[in-house]
């Protein structure tokens, strides 16, 4: 088969707007994970917030993944192009404002406002920009694909998200070593500014080809929140499942300090990319292996594998073992992630599946909110205290195994069935 012809058929199967949107998403994720790679270290040390910096990073992560619930109504009202332009404009201001806190030129305004209020304001501003990106890009993928191309379209989107997550920390490393850690935020602001220009020049509002989606008002969103938050069975599962994301976010919140201060490996951004690269390689084959396994079994196994990975670091704290452990964590992530939405849809009331699925990413937000202050405590207690440093990973593993057990118990209570 002619490779060039095959590639052309693959490329032509999607519209110009589809490829532009996904390219914007690639660079947006590069900026996001580039800043995320150094943000905890930056706020704790460069800005001088100490353990409070970890808490604020967690608050920022919560806002980034919770606010899209509300932002989707704005996207519906103003359209994808205007919303994307607003997203990248706010991102540019937000990243620059966070970076300004570590620059000599910004000390006047930071001291006038106060370092803590200033950083909170800058992070929340950035999170507002972040809240607009997912409804825009996911909505564009939905509108620019057909029933035949939808699955491949979302696979392309997911792959580019992870590629940006893998490349971002690598670029952050080069900037941090070459210019200083504060300039990583300036780099993210610059990428966002370029994305803004590209949106205005090249992005066009997609036509109604695929799913148009339903118009939602803020009143409808808050009404949905009341319904979803009032469903104890559903919410309790999301809270239990957030234990996975409490573990995941430690890759960016606690791990950089451990890698640098305990393992004496200064280029911690390289370690942070292992999960993303592993996910890119593992998602398809692992998903194929777990395809015939029931969702709860796949999620339980994935949770257990991810939880066990941290014990390897506690047993043999070294860079090679750490890399292997994070790759193992990615195996667990690949086992459970594709089946999560299937299980959530099963938990939701049959006539309200769409409403409940809109809140399915809450575990990511809850996990970030808990992981922030937890990482501050872990770093202070295990790295700056008299306790054996590798013990922090035993704590993290215990959280994972506890969540695994609670998930199994929840399934038995919710469905009255055994895991096996």
Residue 279 scores a pLDDT above 60: yes
- Residue 15 phi/psi, 5° resolution? -75, 165
Q: What is the pLDDT of residue 353?
A: 74
Question: Alpha-carbon distance 102 to 151, whole Å?
Answer: 43
pLDDT digits (tens, 9 = 90+) for 299-330: 999 999 999 999 999 999 999 999 999 999 99
Question: Alpha-carbon distance 250 to 3, whole Å?
Answer: 42
pLDDT digits (tens, 9 = 90+) for 82-96: 999 999 999 999 999
Look at 349 and 307; give whichever has higher pLDDT: 307
Look at 362 and 13; give whichever has higher pLDDT: 362
pLDDT digits (tens, 9 = 90+) for 214-261: 566 778 778 888 888 888 888 999 999 999 999 999 999 999 999 999
Tell me what the pLDDT averaged over the chain comes to. Answer: 89
pLDDT digits (tens, 9 = 90+) for 400-411: 999 999 999 988
Residue 174 scores a pLDDT above 60: yes
Domains and CATH numbers, the chain: 9-212 (1.20.1250.20), 217-420 (1.20.1250.20)
Q: What is the pLDDT of residue 212?
A: 55
Greatest mean pLDDT among 70-74, 113-117, 205-209? 113-117
Q: b/e for 211-222, b at 16 or more Cβ within 10 A?
A: eebeebeeeebe
Q: What is the pLDDT of residue 359?
A: 83
Sign of CA pseudo-dihedral 308, 309, 313, 318: positive
pTM: 0.90
- Residue 146 phi/psi, 5° resolution? -105, 180
DSSP 206: P
């Amino acid at each position: 088969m002619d490779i060039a012809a095959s590639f052309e058929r693959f490329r032509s199967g999607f519209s110009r707007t589809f490829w532009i949107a996904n390219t914007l998403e690639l660079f947006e994720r590069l900026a996001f994970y580039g800043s995320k790679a150094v943000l905890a270290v930056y706020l704790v040390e460069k800005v001088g917030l100490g353990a409070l910096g970890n808490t604020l990073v967690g608050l920022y992560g919560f806002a980034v993944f919770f606010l899209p619930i509300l932002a989707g109504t704005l996207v519906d009202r103003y359209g994808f192009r205007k919303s994307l332009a607003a997203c990248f404009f706010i991102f540019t201001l937000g990243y620059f404002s966070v970076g300004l806190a570590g620059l000599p030129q910004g000390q006047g305004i930071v001291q006038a406002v106060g370092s803590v209020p200033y950083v909170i304001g800058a992070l929340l501003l950035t999170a507002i920009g972040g809240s607009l990106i997912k409804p825009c890009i996911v909505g564009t993928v939905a509108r620019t694909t057909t029933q035949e191309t939808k699955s491949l379209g979302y696979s392309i989107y997911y792959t580019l998200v992870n590629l940006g997550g893998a490349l971002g920390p690598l670029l952050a490393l080069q900037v941090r070593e070459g210019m200083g850690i504060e300039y990583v935020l300036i780099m993210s602001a610059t990428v966002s500014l370029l994305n803004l220009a590209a949106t205005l020049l090249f992005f066009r509002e997609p036509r109604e080809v695929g799913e148009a989606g339903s118009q939602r008002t803020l009143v409808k969103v808050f009404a949905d929140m009341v319904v979803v938050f009032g469903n104890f069975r559903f919410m309790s599962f999301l809270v239990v499942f957030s234990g996975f994301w409490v573990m995941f976010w430690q890759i960016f919140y606690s791990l950089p300090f451990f890698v640098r201060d305990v393992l004496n490996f200064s280029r911690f951004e390289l370690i942070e990319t292992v999960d993303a690269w592993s996910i890119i390689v593992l998602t398809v084959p692992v998903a194929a292996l777990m395809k015939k396994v029931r969702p709860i079994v796949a999620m339980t196994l994935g949770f257990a594998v991810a939880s066990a990975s941290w014990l390897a670091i506690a047993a043999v704290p070294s860079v090679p073992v750490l890399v292997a452990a994070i790759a193992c964590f990615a195996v667990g992530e690949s086992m459970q992630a594709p089946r999560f939405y299937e299980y959530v849809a099963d938990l939701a009331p049959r006539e309200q599946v769409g409403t409940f699925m809109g809140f399915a990413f809450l575990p990511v937000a809850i996990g970030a909110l808990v992981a922030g202050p937890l990482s501050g405590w872990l770093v202070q207690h295990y790295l700056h205290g008299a306790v054996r440093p590798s013990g922090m990973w035993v704590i993290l593993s215990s959280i994972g195994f506890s969540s695994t057990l609670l998930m199994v118990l929840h399934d038995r209570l919710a469905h009255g069935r055994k895991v096996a």
